[in-house]
A and B are shown apart, each in its own frame.
Chain A
Amino acid sequence: MTESSRENLSSLMDGELDRKGRKFLLRRLAGDADMKASWNRLHTVRACLHQERLVTGDLVARVASALEDEPAPSRSLPARLLRPVAGGAIAASVAVMAIVGINASMLEQQEAASPASEEPGFVSRSTELDKPFNQSAVPVSYSEERRAERQRISGYVMRHNQAAGSTGFVSWVPIITDMNEDAAPAQSSSVEARVGEP
């Protein structure tokens, strides 16, 4: 593989290619085993750099947090700020990354469909790309686990607030305001679980 193809792959991974370049490279990638292997290697390297071993749940959130890792912490946007962006620009590149492992024919469908509607499907599907760091499938009791996790984290936040006792009511506001939003994904995940049942 030439140096320029390698550079192109790296730009694709960083989301620096334009739409046309991306499409072209993805077509090549789909047919070229050598190139595909280096693409996977690049991802493994990146995953190692970010100390990831396995994909859990929300791919978009993971990508958003990985993006936060990139620059030195001179400008730290909260992950939440990135979420709307993740819905658009980032999701597009995430979707593009996820496609490669499947096949080229899906590429056409993806290009036509909106990234937002395609995203959950790709997140829950284990693709060839996931293999290097995905060691186990998402368990059936996903919502149960999420619930336990939420409970664990909320408990820790509460205890931290009590211990630090910062400005009285101010520190309790995030718990109230954010639980409203967090209820939505928890509900949708349990809905998905029900759909999957016979």
Chain B
Amino acid sequence: MQALLSHRILATLIAGAALTALAPAWAEDSVQHWLDRMARAVESLDYRGTLVNVRNGEVDTLRIIHRADDSGVRQRIYSVDGAPREVLRNGDSVRCVLPGDEPMMLESQLAGRLLPSLPVNRLLGPESGYRMSLGGRERVADMMARIIHIQPRDAYRYGSRLWLEERTGMLLRYALIDHDGQQLQQLSFTSLDLGAKITDAELEPSLVGNEISTESIDESLRHSGSVAGPVPIRPRVPRGFRLVNAGKGSGPNGTEFEHLLYSDGLSSFSIYIEQAGSEAMAARVETMGPVHVYTTQGGGRLFTVVGEVPAATVEFVGRQLRRASRLPSRR
């Protein structure tokens, strides 16, 4: 009897412990659910809205028009203030009109995305680079939103706070935060017409007649999961990042490059490898908001590391590439 009782107590204790252990898993489950909803909503809904982007005390106002139907996704984002700038997405093709004394238009084509939308299941494990939690509710652009917190566990990736519309999961506000919890950027809808009827005319570019130089990149990457093929270089990368895809493409003047895509499930960066020019060039980092670009040379090749990751990450990878390209291959 005594033994039976103690068994029962033990069982209760174990069940209790299991429940306690499951509680964060439930929370993360619902985070995963919210993130999946967001990914779907952002791509598949029709909407028209005004976005305000605040970074470094600078404010930019943008208009976004998005339509998804049988013929695919069409999206137009353009600046309302400052020099006219515009990004147009039409299925697999993206066109970007950049200002300057000679405005230029860049075009990039890629057959489909190369990352599964949000492989959050891998993110939520103990080896995940992030801590995720469900936050409170807040009103954004006249809609009720649920807040999701995504904190990075190290300085090699950014985290974010997401305000997701309760009914659809649509992203209403986005704050980019670094490892120290500092807010680097905030992007918020001030008005959003969800389920709007979008006409073809609205999706037409307004910036035409400019001098145009096109860039065609048409060779797509190999399909996800078939990375087994020979990869030109395998540098050491920060913990959690994995090579998810590799492929080839060609740039504006026919320069061929190799493209390696790395991801930790949420953040990603690309390595581009091409033939180096004759001139020596110093390694350097460039910044486009949260996007960092590291360019370096080694072994007659030019490496460009690009991603919405901290400068530390692209530098880490760039240095490894530089080192690896100098050393004779050991295997």
Contacts and interface: CB of A to CB of B under 8 A. Distances in A.
A160 B108 CA distance: 10
B120 interface: no
A65 B53 contact: no
Interface in A101-157: 133, 135-136, 147, 150-157
B110 A162 contact: yes
Contacts of B259: 159, 163
Interface string A174-198: 1111111011001100100000000
A55 to B, nearest CB: 7
Contact of B174 (A75, A154, A167): A167
Contact of B293 (A69, A133, A157, A179): A157
A52 to B, nearest CB: 5
A125 B284 CA distance: 20
Nearest to B55: A177
A25 interface: no
Interface residues of A, number: 60
B282 interface: yes
B98 A179 contact: yes
Interface in B274-331: 279-293, 295-296, 304, 306-308, 310-313, 315-316, 319, 322
A179 B64 CA distance: 17
Please classify how large the interface on chain B is, using the bins under 10, 10 to 19, 20 to 34, 35 or more. 35 or more
Nearest to B249: A159
B304 A156 contact: yes
B270 A173 contact: no
A155 B292 CA distance: 14
A1 interface: no
B210 interface: no
Interface in B50-81: 51, 53, 55-56, 58, 60, 62, 64, 66, 75, 77-79
Task: Name the residue among B56, B92, B98 with the largest chain A CB count within 10 angstroms.
Answer: B98
Nearest to B215: A155
B115 interface: yes
A165 interface: yes
Interface of A: 50-56, 61-62, 65, 68-69, 73-76, 78-81, 133, 135-136, 147, 150-180, 182-183, 186-187, 190
Rank and list the top 4 A-B pairs by shortest CB-CB distance, nearest first.
Answer: A73-B312, A174-B289, A168-B42, A165-B113
